[in-house]
Structure 1
């Protein structure tokens, strides 16, 4: 008997795997998107180069929005291990996300099966429990809404928290089944529950509701009655105090003051957010039961509820949620699965869909709350199949066919949605079509055209159009729009306009918490000032940046270069030595610092040292335009014209002669901010060209 069960379970898991693989296989080549960049690609503490304990420990404090804080360490460690094996290649990250989704589906099935065999439910549900649990898990796993939590790489934080949560629920259910068996087995499963809970919390904070979810399971599946008894009141009170205490432990004693103070940068208040979320949560429900791809988007346009009567749908939403939350306490005896599913859904939305200062709406927030939402639907289908199996074959086969079609439609919807996630262009074009009055799609689609297509005109136009669109944080949207417009002006050589846009961007964020992110923009502004000849202003900015962010090698490096360029070689070399000591050998700052040393030693007459640093740079990576320019200058100063000529030939295989001349005249936007002697290289290059023409 047990062998038959094992074979049946294995066949089911294999079916889950194949169906999910078909639905998600397009996602394996999906691009990096949106928050993937700051959380993974630009989050250098996650970039593991060795599996040493100290390096692994550093990843626990790598959450970019709270640098140096022990936050989401499990998620961070998983990204770091991905980086160690795959660097910036997306396939490995998507593969891990897929398996997280698969294992979550398996444990959801196992948990549903245990719920259906619990004391209060066993014998009351008609139909095959195995079929009910399988359909409930499949309807959840293949739902197109889940693509945002699975395909969007950074949302591994949400899917990991959900996976460990469902494993914790399964451990609890297994422990409850062991009451008549050995204490050792109970202890084993309760220990597993605690471990899963800690891992879930280390993945994302919304997992803190696991204890409350277990209270809900205890009441609906193991208690004889659900009433406000003294025992139940004590359970609820202890659960609330536990969640409150753990929140304070994680975030500090002033957590609630900080939450409400942070709303100063929002276009809505805490009460307005709560009212708006009432409409959003009902919208989530509609998406889960009608997840047509044309309804799904990374960005949704939501009107903020300014009062319970504006818009009037807010009143209906609040009343509807009130009814949905109260009804289960009256209907739980007759409809226990439905009552539990509704309360579990709303309970697990309380962290992200109430008063916390988060973005208003994201589809991935449904991943965990929707776990048991399809259990009543699956039960109804199974009951009908069981009822008509012997009576009316036509209805029986219609039900079987309709269920298979439903699974097929869900699979196709997920497949279609995953294709939208393939590239930045497809994702943001889709978002722009569905949310044409929101700033996000314009800014991010503009970034795509700027970085990937080099279509500066289209990128500038999209950034410009974003300025009069809606945003929950208007100043932040304007900050990025002006920043991008300034960068485009820099690229085309219109430095005055670039500086104007940069100043606009800085003024938007100066008096906000986002001001701490101004450093990269100030660095770019300093580089533009240097190109316009305002070198003292550029150095003032860089001096301030190195004081404010001494741990950032790119600021120390840039300031060191500028000091050398202003004939302050001793001060510049000291900073560059610090960069070399603190940087990873594979980083850009490290290689650029080597080139700076090469130039300094060339000017001092230490030719061999100069060539050593340049060759070392080339050993770390292919020759670049800056490294070849350094080689040309060092070769000229060493009077080794053959080496200089060879370096020019290598350089002209990468750029054109007009581009080369523009760099030497310091008119190119690609001119390296290196302490190069451009007139010296220009004079030699013209001589080299003349000799080449004579030959």
Structure 2
């Protein structure tokens, strides 16, 4: 056991308090931010995260919450578990999610601060600093990292909790490793055991944590091994063998964890990208320099969810490609040559490039995303903080005026960076604010325009003629390059939705067909096409499209229920009922299914059984919805078919108790022109309603 340094402990507490306060101030407005982009499929629509009871079985389902293959593969279980717990406490209210993300960011910043202090105590640099200066350097480096606006995409974009948690466990692992290396005695093996545990947790958060062992080796080579005599002493052999055994174990763990989630590298996805593997590799050096420019010139107007950066076609197209490659090689060369004399600079450079290897090299990911810098930028400000501290210490003795100027300068830089962070968070408030910001900064990108059109067309903002504006935006977006080949298909799909909202069904169907010609596997667009065909009563065409949806492995009970619905309209109630029985067998329940079964039962001369399903539909359907009125009208028809006069009158009473007569009559008038509900004899229902209204009026007069 080493003696506890109370002075250093107090410094740590004050440093942690100050860091948390700074982060809280800079992120105080991120609680106003909403859901964005990948939040919707990964959280809002991901039912495996929608936990309503705190039981092991309920929480366990979050471990296999991959949206494209739910229930089959373990996928980032620790972040998914945390999101499931968030859902339990607040469902789709984003405030709680932002609170957790901010706490995680504070933890990362504080552990980074403590880790930098330990790095400054390693053999390579310990002689160059005092306990007091180490504290200042660590606090400066961690503060500059924590409030840099580039981190907002990881912290405020809720689903990037996965990146934050992987980074958190990685920095905890580095801290534990340094504690183990700097501790004498048996206690060090406890710290080394913690390293393995944190590495596993990082891998269970996001796959890019696979580089963690190389980060540890980087620390070992730069801060320890180059400073030790290479004699074959017993101590050296023990350390070396322990490291080799430890990393072999870690490699086995990494292999097992990554392969439980299936193939972690899918090069086939390049078919969906507008660039090849070679073009992506050529592009990334330019993008890495762009990231560095964002880190060191963090003006809030430079950040965006979408950046207008074209991929490189060759070494000289664009001309910056070759200089960027040369620059990366040059920086790595500088890091290699300065490893002994300037280890902090060397480490910052190596760590940045090393931890970009997963997301900035061969994988078929999009070219640019700011959140990819969350972990790689951990130590990028360490040499800056070290040199600044050296200047301050030097001029403190020699020139008080320059010393004061330096302190003021750093205060201004940190304040400006923090204000930039606060300002950047404003863009994340709504989909409209985020994508309007992206459109201003990347007007030549299809996705920014498409997403802005979606935000205007279906967002909460009160914008006059929103559908007309969205239509113009989508048509403009069709002329721009996208991040994926299927982006054009998605734009056509959104055009179809706008035409549907305007009641322009033929134009909507034409847009959907264009989308599916480009990308036949767009399931949502095909389902929207089904809805459009149903609205026009084109039953055979809609059934054909439904069969295409049902033919692949991703078919859903909801899609199957629409096949039953179409069969009802095709006057095949037996087929419809058989299909709906399949739907019920899959444990899928909703008002639409119960409503259709009720109608099918009545058409097959089982009105009493049909009534039971209609009552179940009324229990589920939302209050104050037109669908609820229609279910009541169907119930009246059902009771009439069973010659149940009192039952029909009771359904009328219940309907009038919830809705006004004008609203009911408007719904009845609309029904013959729509096919979005099960078939109904509206003339018969109108007669039943009229007769029951007369009876009700007479009974009131009699009283």
Q: How many angstroms apart in 2 are the aligned matches of 1:661 and 1:253?
A: 52
Within 5 A, what are the aligned runs for 1:342-491? 342-453=349-460, 455-473=466-484, 475-491=485-501
Give the equivalent residue in structure 2 for 1:590: 590
For residue 400 of structure 1, report the CA deviation from its aligned partner.
Answer: 2.0
Q: For 1:549-597, what per-residue CA distance to the aligned partner results, in whole angstroms no more than 9, with x for missing partners?
A: 576221122222223333333333343344345346xxxx523223233
Give the equivalent residue in structure 1 for 2:642: none
Give the equivalent residue in structure 2 for 1:501: 511
Give the equivalent residue in structure 2 for 1:168: 173
Q: How many angstroms apart in 2 are the aligned matches of 1:472 and 1:229?
A: 54
Evaluate the alpha carbon distance shift between residue 402 and residue 654 of structure 1 in structure 2; reply closer, same or farther with a 3 A threshold: farther
Within 5 A, what are the aligned runs for 1:42-441? 42-67=45-70, 68-125=72-129, 128-178=133-183, 180-182=184-186, 185-224=187-226, 246=254, 250=258, 259-441=266-448
Evaluate the alpha carbon distance shift between residue 656 and residue 380 of structure 1 in structure 2; reply closer, same or farther with a 3 A threshold: farther
Q: Taking structure 2 as the reference length, what is the TM-score of the superposition?
A: 0.88
Evaluate the alpha carbon distance shift between residue 69 and residue 5 of structure 1 in structure 2; reply closer, same or farther with a 3 A threshold: same
For residue 144 of structure 1, report the CA deviation from its aligned partner.
Answer: 0.5
Q: For 1:413-447, what per-residue CA distance to the aligned partner results, in whole angstroms no more than 9, with x for missing partners?
A: 11100011101111000000000000011111111
Q: Does 2:655 match 1:647?
A: yes
Gaps of 5+ in 2: 640-644
Q: How many angstroms apart in 2 are the aligned matches of 1:266 and 1:199?
A: 31
Evaluate the alpha carbon distance shift between residue 352 and residue 247 of structure 1 in structure 2; reply closer, same or farther with a 3 A threshold: farther
Q: How many angstroms apart in 1 are the aligned matches of 2:441 and 2:620?
A: 46
Q: How many angstroms apart in 2 are the aligned matches of 1:432 and 1:233?
A: 54
Evaluate the alpha carbon distance shift between residue 309 and residue 285 of structure 1 in structure 2; reply closer, same or farther with a 3 A threshold: same
Q: How many angstroms apart in 2 are the aligned matches of 1:336 and 1:654?
A: 79
For residue 251 of structure 1, report the CA deviation from its aligned partner.
Answer: 5.2
Q: Is the 8 A contact 1:561 1:675 kept in 2?
A: no
Evaluate the alpha carbon distance shift between residue 243 and residue 466 of structure 1 in structure 2; reply closer, same or farther with a 3 A threshold: farther
Q: How many angstroms apart in 2 are the aligned matches of 1:244 and 1:465?
A: 51
For residue 493 of structure 1, report the CA deviation from its aligned partner.
Answer: 2.5
Q: Does 2:559 match 1:555?
A: yes
Evaluate the alpha carbon distance shift between residue 679 and residue 81 of structure 1 in structure 2; reply closer, same or farther with a 3 A threshold: farther
Deviates more, 1:218-227 or 1:554-563: 218-227
For residue 548 of structure 1, report the CA deviation from its aligned partner.
Answer: 2.9
Evaluate the alpha carbon distance shift between residue 271 and residue 544 of structure 1 in structure 2; reply closer, same or farther with a 3 A threshold: closer
Tell me the SS of whatever aligns to 2:305. coil
For residue 617 of structure 1, report the CA deviation from its aligned partner.
Answer: 4.1
Q: How many angstroms apart in 1 are the aligned matches of 2:28 and 2:405?
A: 30
Q: Is the 8 A contact 1:611 1:631 kept in 2?
A: no
Q: For 1:501-533, what per-residue CA distance to the aligned partner results, in whole angstroms no more than 9, with x for missing partners?
A: 1111111112xxxx2xx3332222222222222
Q: Does 2:633 match 1:632?
A: yes
Q: Is the 8 A contact 1:209 1:243 kept in 2?
A: no
Evaluate the alpha carbon distance shift between residue 392 and residue 693 of structure 1 in structure 2; reply closer, same or farther with a 3 A threshold: farther
Evaluate the alpha carbon distance shift between residue 128 and residue 650 of structure 1 in structure 2; reply closer, same or farther with a 3 A threshold: same
Deviates more, 1:684-693 or 1:452-461: 684-693
Q: How many angstroms apart in 2 are the aligned matches of 1:228 and 1:464?
A: 68
For residue 300 of structure 1, report the CA deviation from its aligned partner.
Answer: 0.4
Evaluate the alpha carbon distance shift between residue 245 and residue 84 of structure 1 in structure 2; reply closer, same or farther with a 3 A threshold: closer
Q: Does 2:569 match 1:565?
A: yes
Q: Is the 8 A contact 1:215 1:236 kept in 2?
A: no
Q: Is the 8 A contact 2:447 2:483 kept in 1?
A: no
Q: Taking structure 1 as the reference length, what is the TM-score of the superposition?
A: 0.89
Q: How many angstroms apart in 2 are the aligned matches of 1:492 and 1:692?
A: 39
Q: How many angstroms apart in 2 are the aligned matches of 1:484 and 1:47?
A: 27
Q: For 1:374-403, what per-residue CA distance to the aligned partner results, in whole angstroms no more than 9, with x for missing partners?
A: 111111222222222333222222222222
Evaluate the alpha carbon distance shift between residue 599 and residue 90 of structure 1 in structure 2; reply closer, same or farther with a 3 A threshold: same
Q: Is the 8 A contact 1:594 1:614 kept in 2?
A: yes
Give the equivalent residue in structure 2 for 1:39: 42
Evaluate the alpha carbon distance shift between residue 26 and residue 653 of structure 1 in structure 2; reply closer, same or farther with a 3 A threshold: farther
Q: Is the 8 A contact 2:482 2:488 kept in 1?
A: no
Q: For 1:202-260, what per-residue CA distance to the aligned partner results, in whole angstroms no more than 9, with x for missing partners?
A: 1111111000000100011111359999999999999799869956973599969x644
Q: Is the 8 A contact 1:603 1:637 kept in 2?
A: no
Q: How many angstroms apart in 1 are the aligned matches of 2:191 and 2:308?
A: 44
Q: Is the 8 A contact 1:626 1:672 kept in 2?
A: no
Gaps of 5+ in 1: none
Q: Is the 8 A contact 2:203 2:257 kept in 1?
A: no
Aligned length: 676
Q: How many angstroms apart in 2 are the aligned matches of 1:345 and 1:654?
A: 67
Tell me the SS of whatever aligns to 2:226. coil
Tell me the SS of whatever aligns to 2:27. helix
Q: Is the 8 A contact 2:144 2:381 kept in 1?
A: yes
Q: Is the 8 A contact 2:561 2:579 kept in 1?
A: yes
Q: How many angstroms apart in 2 are the aligned matches of 1:602 and 1:488?
A: 36
Q: Is the 8 A contact 1:63 1:76 kept in 2?
A: no
Q: Is the 8 A contact 2:73 2:261 kept in 1?
A: no
